[in-house]
Amino acid sequence: MAATQEGSRGERVHAWTPVEITLAAQRQYARPYTDVEVWAEFTHDSGTVVCRPGFWDGGSTWRFRFAAPFAGGRWTWRSVGDPSDPGLDGQRGELTVADRPAVGNRFHRHGFWRMSPRGRSLVHADGTPAVLVGDTAWALPWRATEDAVRVYAADRQAKGFNAVLMMSVQPDRDARGPRDRTADHGFDVAFEDLPEGHLNELSPAYFRSLDRLTNILAEHALVPVLQPVFQGWGWKGQRGNSGAVVPPGEYARYCRYLVARYGASPAAWLVGADGSGDEPQVAAGGAEIGRWDAYRQPCGIHYAPFFGNRAHQEADWLDFQWCQTGHRGEHVPERLTDMWRNTPAKAVANGEPTYERGGAPDRAVGWWQGHEAWSNLCAGGTMGVVYGAGSLWQWRLHSGEPGHPAYFLAEDAGWREALDFEGSRYVGLLGRILDGLPTTDMRPDWEISKSPRGLLSPGVLFIAYCEHGGPLGIRDLTGTRVPRAYRVIDPRTGETTGRGVRTGDTDDIPDEGGAPRIYICYDG
């Protein structure tokens, strides 16, 4: 929630930049988080209505966050409180939106992410194509300091990442440690009653801290992919994980809170994680997100390795399905191909390949990660790619911090050392290579070329990945599917190694071979 503007009555604001409106209850409530619901309806002069839930922020304070979904015009708003409270119910105001967006990152210029027309990839609100390039920093919200997140965000932005997967709360009911982000075993606490398997005693101070961390990410154009409460491994393994234990109604209420607090900024919702997807919490939370996220930012499920990866495939609130391929250092892109065939169509990605150096110093290191990313993308994972590093996802404070299971740990590294693992460069570079290309709803193709991996948007774009390079044979018998202009790129460096224009529809694209290559056919 970066660059928040105060939404006072009559204030001039910018599109796609959050406005914060503060209300004060006039009555006292013993359990304000659970017993009071507040929302506001924002109505544009054109008749467009955006409904935004409010959230309790401690004491008598409730807040709304709103981002105008287009430039220009005037919005009026009215609050609703249940139960009715003179300070929360019936408050009114107006906002005037500037005719041009704020000068800022691509989310200010193009709007938040949403799903493409065919549901296979990401686009911004104005239709600009996008490819998710995600990093895995599950424990950042409750372990990292602001200074550390500044270091982290600058590194990931410079490498080409644009999203960060995070557990919004520390989910292990049996985990113990000081409430100190700088101490070994330490972590911050979002719900005081989570050790009992409940989400009722919310700590506003925790979420004010998370606001500051997500602001830093947003300043670096990194989208938080927020997971409410993990269903699987959690932070330190199977230590009484909460995501499949808390009552579904409490899980749904918390999903609404996340939408209220973070949904007026770029975000994505990972409503289920590391489970089957059939946990009742997932359906309850997904439906609540679908009900309250007026911007329709991407919402989906991330599975453990043992499941079919198609729970709730027909649900309107479900936008994407993310597999994980285990942590043994094996490439399994066929899982993406299998998921691609599921109907109705949803976007697909591998949300958790093997963590670099996770559990062994030579596991999934270096170019392994780049090959994995391009293979997954071309197999059908056209929503994007995800990277993870051992010791980083746990946010291990330093290389000697004890108490983390060795199975996922980079033994000689804390989060800061893991930030520099080689493989992250190659995954981030994928985003830079694809930036600006018309990737919307591209699909796997096995007919155009002799490459084992290809993506096609007929007549617009063809991308092929060859693990060992070499001349790329093209078989475009109709002459309508593959643009004539081409570039050949080394995906390890981003360097263009060749370019030209094919004179015939079945001409090869030349390359000497012997190294990985990306072939991009695009006339733009």
What confidence tens digit (pLDDT) does each residue in 134-165 have? Answer: 999 999 999 999 999 999 999 999 999 999 99
**In a shared domain, residues 236 and 300:** yes
Share of the chain above pLDDT 70, in %: 98
Summarised one tens digit per residue, pLDDT across range 427-442 is 999 999 999 999 999 9
> What is the band of 12 on the pLDDT scale with cuts at 50, 70, 90?
confident
Task: Determine contact, residues 236/408, Cβ cutoff 8 Å.
Answer: no
Beta carbons within 8 Å of 123's beta carbon, 6+ residues apart: 113, 114, 115, 116, 129, 130, 440
**In a shared domain, residues 48 and 170:** no
**In a shared domain, residues 201 and 256:** yes
Inside any domain, residue 3: no
Evaluate the CA torsion angle 37, 38, 41, 42 in order and state its sign: negative
Which two three-digit tokens encode residue 393?
A: 């996802």
Summarised one tens digit per residue, pLDDT across range 481-507 is 999 999 999 999 999 999 999 998 888
What is the mean predicted confidence (pLDDT) over 440-451? 91
Inside any domain, residue 1: no
Summarised one tens digit per residue, pLDDT across range 199-234 is 999 999 999 999 999 999 999 999 999 999 999 999
Q: How far apart are the C-alpha atoms of 376 and 93, rounded to whole Å?
A: 48
* pLDDT-wise least confident of 69-78, 213-222, 340-349, 449-458: 449-458
Q: Give the pLDDT of residue 237.
A: 79
Q: CA 327 → CA 249, 358, 378, distances in Å?
A: 33, 8, 21
Summarised one tens digit per residue, pLDDT across range 288-329 is 999 999 999 999 999 999 999 999 999 999 999 999 998 999
Mean pLDDT of the chain: 95
**In a shared domain, residues 235 and 136:** yes
**In a shared domain, residues 281 and 186:** yes
Residue ending a domain, among 103, 138, 159, is 103
Q: Give the pLDDT of residue 450.
A: 82
Q: How far apart are the C-alpha atoms of 342 and 61, rounded to whole Å?
A: 45
Say whether pLDDT at 475 is over 90. Answer: no
**In a shared domain, residues 130 and 99:** no
Inside any domain, residue 5: no
**In a shared domain, residues 396 and 465:** no
Q: Give the pLDDT of residue 4.
A: 40
> What is the band of 56 on the pLDDT scale with cuts at 50, 70, 90?
very high
**In a shared domain, residues 244 and 183:** yes
**In a shared domain, residues 134 and 81:** no
What is the mean predicted confidence (pLDDT) over 238-263? 94
**In a shared domain, residues 165 and 286:** yes
**In a shared domain, residues 205 and 86:** no
Task: Please report, to the nearest 10 degrees, the dihedral formed by the alpha carbons of residues 502, 504, 505, 508 taken in order.
Answer: -60
> What is the band of 2 on the pLDDT scale with cuts at 50, 70, 90?
very low
Q: How far apart are the C-alpha atoms of 370 and 517, rounded to whole Å?
A: 11
Say whether pLDDT at 11 is over 50. Answer: yes
DSSP string, 403-431: -S-TTT--TT--HHHHTT-THHHHHHHHH
Which two three-digit tokens encode residue 296?
A: 């329709």
Task: Determine contact, residues 435/489, Cβ cutoff 8 Å.
Answer: no
Share of the chain above pLDDT 90, in %: 90
Say whether pLDDT at 133 is over 90. Answer: yes
Domain that holds residue 218: 123-434
Task: Determine contact, residues 274/302, Cβ cutoff 8 Å.
Answer: yes
> What is the band of 10 on the pLDDT scale with cuts at 50, 70, 90?
low
CA-based nearest residue to 139, from 112, 105, 175, 106: 175
Q: Is 38 helix (H, G, I), strand (E, B) or coil?
A: strand
> What is the band of 75 on the pLDDT scale with cuts at 50, 70, 90?
very high
Number of domains in the chain: 3
Q: How far apart are the C-alpha atoms of 389 and 355, rounded to whole Å?
A: 5
